[in-house]
Amino acid sequence: MNECSKAAARRMHTAGFATHYLVGDGLDVGSGSDPLSKVAHLFPLIRSVTTFDLPDGDAQLLAKHPDDRFDFLHSSHCLEHVRDPREALRNWVRVVRPGGHLVVLVPDEDLYEQGVWPSTFNPDHKHTFTVCKAKSWSPVSVNLTDLFAAVADRAEVLRVEMLHQTFQRSGTRRDQTLTPVGECATEFVLRKQSGSKE
């Protein structure tokens, strides 16, 4: 619920987002009803944001966008909905210019699904995500470290953070993203390498 808007205050006060990552012309993949454009005025170096959602095509392929088109790509809680996160991330890197950034939020499987699959909070989720585990309870778990390795020839990892600060560990199991502050996610930032070939 409004995960992009929730992230804005944190990002405004975190080194890099306003000065390096969210700079220039961007693509917001899976923008939905809470697009980055709604909070773009808080990041003065954003020039423009192009939204991309279901009517625009398949977020896994981004077929309508050419290589090296955008200075940055932003995606808040879309990667868990695609068929193949590895192919999606390769295409997301593809449309970013060399030296540009990808800023991506995915639900953390322990904070969001909380040990239950299929997801009881969002039945359209096709994957769960963790930063790195030897073994997960989820049959569709994706280690982000493995996902990054799939694009390591094209992009470097700058930042990975589990956003657990507002997660309430006591109490009954519930979708904590429905609260005004609960993020229950992992955020990562990649930088497309200069001279990378698709």
pLDDT in tens, 25-45: 999 999 999 999 999 999 999
According to the model, what pLDDT value does residue 195 have?
74
Given a cut of 70, the residues of the chain with pLDDT beneath it are: 196-198
pTM of the model: 0.96
According to the model, what pLDDT value does residue 197 have?
54
Q: State the SS3 of the chain.
A: CCHHHHHHHHHHCCCCHHHHHCCEEEEEECCCCCCHHHCHHHCCCEEEEEEECHHHCCCCCCCCCCCCCEEEEEEECCHHHCCCHHHHHHHHHHCEEEEEEEEEEEEECCCCCCCCCCCCCCCCCCCEEECCCCCCCCCCEEEHHHHHHHCCCCEEEEEEEEECCCCCCCCCCCCHHHCCCCCCEEEEEEEECCCCCC
List domains and CATH numbers for the chain: 3-192 (3.40.50.150)
